[in-house]
Amino acid sequence: MMRIEIHDLTKVFNNERGLHPVGFKVEKGGLIAVIGHNGAGKSTLLKILANWILPDGGEALVDGLPLEKRRAVARKIGFVPETPNLFEFFSVEYNLKLFARLFQTPFSRMEYVLKEFGLAPFRRCNVQLLSKGLKQRVSIGRALLADPPMLLFDEPTSGLDFEMTHEIYRLLKAFHAAGKTILFTSHRPEEIKTLATRIIVLHQGYLVFDGPPDNYFQSEIHEKLYLS
C-alpha cells in the first residue's frame, strides 16, 4: 500500500527557488532520506506534505487522501520542523497536554510520551529554559501524540551536537522498527548512509535521484553534488 503519492507537485517562490514538478511514491514502512543542498526544495516538499504551505500545482495523496482534507491528513502525518515551534512560555507538560486535547488523545498517551522521550524530569520546566536537544525531543513527542503512521522530520539533527544527533538517529530507527513510514531531510548524506532505506535527491527544485542508498553512493550524482 502506498503511504504517499506525489504527482507533479510544484511550488515556486519569488526568487525562482522551490519545487519544480516532482513526483514519487512512498510505500508503507519506508525510511526515506530526502537530501540536497540548501535551497534544493527539501523543506518545501515536507512543508507541503505537512500542510504548512500550499502547492502551486500538482497533487499529493496521503493514504489516498488529498492534502486539502487537512483534518483527516493531520491524523496520518506527524511533522517535526527544523526549529521546534513550541509555546515557549509554558511548561513541557502544558505543551503536550494542549496538543493531546486537540488530537483528542487520552492524557495517558502524554504520560507515555513524557516517559519514552526522557522528558518526565522536565515536565514542569518552561520550554524556553530547555536546551535545543530537549526542545527537539518535546517537538518529536508532540508529533507522536496521535500515534500517526507517517512522520516527517525536517533537518532533525540541525544544530545538535554529536551525541544528540545519534540519539535522534536512534529514535528514527526505533520508529521505523515500530512500522512507521518516515521521511526526513538532510544535507549531509554521509551521515545517513546506514540509516535510510531509500534516498531521494533534490537539486535546485528538481528530483535528480530516487533509489537505494548503495546505488546513490556509487552514482555520478553523489560525486557531482558532494564530492567534486
Partner 1 sequence: MIRNIITLTLNDLAIAFKNKTIYLVFFIPFFVFFSLKLVDREDIGPVELNIGLVRDEMADPVILQAIQSAGKALTVSLVSDEKEGVKSLKDRKIDGLLLNSKTREKSLVLVVLKKESVVTLSLVEVFSALQKATEGRNPGWISDIRPLQTGGPQRQTLPTWTLMLVLLVGFLILPAQVAEEKEKKLLLALLQTPMRETEWLAAKVFSGMFLMIVAVLLLHLLGGFCPDNFVGYAAFIAAGGFCFSSFGILLGFLCRNQAGARTLGVMFYLPHLLPSALSDFSHKLTVVAPILPSYQFYKPIKSILLEEGRISKLWPEWAYLILVGLITLSLARHLMKKRWLM
Residues 91-150 contacting partner 1, CB under 8 A: 99, 102-104, 142-143, 146
**Pattern 153-172, binding to partner 1, x per CB under 8 A?**
--------------------
Name the minimum Å distance from CB 190 to partner 1. Answer: 30
Name the minimum Å distance from CB 200 to partner 1. Answer: 22
Q: Which is nearer to partner 1, 42 or 142 (CB)?
A: 142
For the chain, where are the E strands, in sequence order? 2-12, 18-27, 31-35, 57-62, 65-66, 77-80, 150-153, 181-186, 198-203, 206-211
Alpha-carbon gap, residue 35 to 211, rounded angstroms: 12
Which amino acid does the sequence have at 132? K
Is residue 44 part of the contact set for partner 1 (CB under 8 A)? no
The single residue among 85, 128, 166, 224 that binds partner 1, judged by CB under 8 A, is 85
Alpha-carbon gap, residue 130 to 120, rounded angstroms: 13
DSSP 8-state symbol, 122: G
Q: What angle do CA 52, 163, 134 make, to 5 degrees?
A: 50
Is residue 53 part of the contact set for partner 1 (CB under 8 A)? yes
Is residue 43 part of the contact set for partner 1 (CB under 8 A)? no
Q: Which is nearer to partner 1, 22 or 86 (CB)?
A: 86
For 74-164, where are the E strands, in sequence order? 77-80, 150-153
Is residue 50 part of the contact set for partner 1 (CB under 8 A)? yes
Query: CA separation (Å) from 70 to 1, 38, 86, 119?
Result: 21, 28, 21, 29
The single residue among 41, 45, 49, 79 that binds partner 1, judged by CB under 8 A, is 79
Q: Which is nearer to partner 1, 146 or 225 (CB)?
A: 146
Binding site for partner 1 (CB under 8 A): 50-54, 70-72, 74-75, 77-79, 81, 83, 85-88, 99, 102-104, 142-143, 146
